[in-house]
């Protein structure tokens, strides 16, 4: 029973520019099994925003923020779910 998978969720800070980013978890995990990410838009979206998970470890994750029209990129937050034991 000790090794049951646990889940934490959170929301990162604001990201406007298209590019690669790193986020550090607010707490330390013994072993992260996976991370799920989703775009959390602020206000009315003017273009389509995407976030792609590019890696993770026990202390954080990395992602790329992309936008259909980079010149009109929206400010977004990234909602995340951490799966850990």
d(CA 58, CA 63): 15
pLDDT band at 2 (very low <50, low <70, confident <90, very high): low
d(CA 5, CA 23): 22
Does position 60 have pLDDT exceeding 60, yes or no? yes
Instruction: State whether the Cα torsion 9-36-85-60 is positive or negative.
Output: negative
pLDDT band at 41 (very low <50, low <70, confident <90, very high): confident
Of 6, 3, 78, nearest to 36 by C-alpha is 78
């Amino acid at each position: 029973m000790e090794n049951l998978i646990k889940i934490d969720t959170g929301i990162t800070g604001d990201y406007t520019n298209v590019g690669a980013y790193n986020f550090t978890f607010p707490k330390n995990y013994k072993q992260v099994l996976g991370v799920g990410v989703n775009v959390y838009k602020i206000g009315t979206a003017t273009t389509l925003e995407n976030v792609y998970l590019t890696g993770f470890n026990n202390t954080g994750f990395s992602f790329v923020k992309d936008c259909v029209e980079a010149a009109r990129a929206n400010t977004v937050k990234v909602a995340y779910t951490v799966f850990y034991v």
